[in-house]
Amino acid sequence: MKQDIFQAIADPTRRAILTLIAIQALTPNAMAEKFDMSRQAVSKHIKVLYECELIRPEHAGREIYYHFNAKKMQEFDNWLAQLKQSWETQFNQLDKVLSTIKKQKNEQRFAI
């Protein structure tokens, strides 16, 4: 079952894992050393991130190194950029309406 990317990045530990492996690929054991939790707990976080395609494994001998999947994060960033553009357009429209109302109130006040 594919996880929801929003649910994945909502967790502070998973965000911390993403930050760590964005700098350098790490094994689950190396990640577990960075947190006050068991290797099994870290593995559960890794599973969620993997199912969301935010990280990708690379086998090196007996070890598995997890890498940050910048391409997937770019897809997410592109989606956010579209929302941001929509919000900015709406805020700009609201600013124009508020400016018009303020101008009208000032004109009424000076007309008296």
CA–CA distance from 79 to each of 52, 84, 86 (Å)? 15, 9, 11
Q: Which residues are registered as beta bridge partners of 66?
A: 26, 57
- Does 5-68 carry CATH code 3.40.50.1220? no
- Could you tell me the residue ranges of all domains in the chain? 5-68, 70-112
The 8 Å CB, 24+ separation contacts for 92-100 are none
Q: What is the pLDDT of residues 48-96, one digit of tens each?
A: 999 999 999 999 999 999 999 998 888 878 888 888 888 888 988 998 9
Tens of pLDDT, residues 2-46: 678 888 899 999 999 999 999 999 999 999 999 988 999 999 999
Specify the pTM.
0.70
